[in-house]
């Protein structure tokens, strides 16, 4: 007994028009994917800018804290001499470039051009203390930025 095979089962004569994707569907999919990729790239760019700003603020804070610690390590007499050695008697400007390296034997370092300005207010708030105001500033593509730290040094010999 021979079975008769239905040829329509193996070789359909007509392909349905509903199968597959149309060109419009593919173009819409490409547009949605492109928009998503663009948004992800913009998010990465914003995160990178935020990291650079945070890094600059951290370095500026480190410079100011280092200067405050240097001034606090001085005796009141040495600090008074430093205030008096300043020609204007009020302000001392120091330009610094901090080198930050990625390791102890790093072949290359990053230079951060920060400016530190120390303003002394001698005998303020009392005659037995000096007030130091440390301003650290730096520039980037968004303009100049500045942080200010203050510290009061008192004569502990009293």
Provide the domain limits for residue 61.
23-154
Answer yes or no: is pLDDT of 91 > 50: no
Q: Evaluate whether residue 10 is within a structural domain.
A: no
Q: Evaluate whether residue 149 is within a structural domain.
A: yes
Pairing of strands 91-101, 143-154: unpaired
Report the b/e string of 29-61 with b at 16+ CB within 10 A: eeeeeeeeeeeeeeeeeeeeeeeeeeebeebbe
User: For the whole prediction, is pTM greater than 0.85?
Assistant: no
Q: Evaluate whether residue 13 is within a structural domain.
A: no
CA gap 31, 73 in Å, rounded: 63
Q: Left (φ > 0), alpha (ψ -120 to 50) or beta: where does 20 sit?
A: left
Q: Evaluate whether residue 2 is within a structural domain.
A: no
**3-state SS, residue 147:** strand
Condensed to tens digits (0 to 9), the pLDDT of residues 28-59 reads: 999 999 999 999 999 998 998 888 888 888 88
**Domains in the chain: how many in total?**
1
Q: Evaluate whether residue 107 is within a structural domain.
A: yes
Q: Evaluate whether residue 9 is within a structural domain.
A: no
Alpha-carbon separation of residue 72 from 11, 45, 69, 97 (angstroms): 93, 41, 5, 22
Where would I find the beta strands (DSSP E) of 55-106?
Answer: 91-101
More confident site: 12 or 156: 156
**3-state SS, residue 14:** coil
Half-sphere exposure of 152 (CA within 13 A, CB side): 9
**3-state SS, residue 18:** coil
CA gap 29, 18 in Å, rounded: 18
Q: Evaluate whether residue 61 is within a structural domain.
A: yes
Closest CA relative to residue 150, chosen from 132, 129, 130: 132
Q: Evaluate whether residue 15 is within a structural domain.
A: no
Answer yes or no: is pLDDT of 79 > 50: yes
Mean pLDDT of the chain: 76
Between 10-24, 68-82, 101-115, 121-135, the lowest mean confidence (pLDDT) is in 101-115
């Amino acid at each position: 007994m021979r079975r008769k095979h239905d040829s329509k089962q193996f070789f359909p004569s007509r392909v349905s028009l509903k199968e597959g994707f149309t060109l419009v569907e593919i173009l819409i999919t490409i547009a949605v994917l492109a928009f998503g990729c663009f948004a992800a790239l913009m998010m990465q760019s914003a995160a990178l800018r935020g990291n650079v700003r945070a890094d600059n603020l951290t370095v500026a804070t480190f410079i100011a804290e280092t200067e405050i610690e240097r001034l606090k390590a001085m005796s009141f007499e040495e600090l008074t001499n430093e205030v008096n050695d300043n020609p204007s008697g009020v302000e001392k400007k120091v330009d610094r470039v901090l080198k930050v390296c990625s390791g102890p034997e790093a072949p290359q370092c990053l230079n951060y051009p920060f400016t530190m300005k120390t303003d002394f207010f001698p005998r303020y708030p009392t005659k037995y203390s000096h007030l130091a105001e440390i301003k650290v500033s730096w520039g980037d593509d968004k303009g100049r930025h500045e942080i200010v730290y203050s510290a009061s040094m008192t004569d502990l010999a009293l």
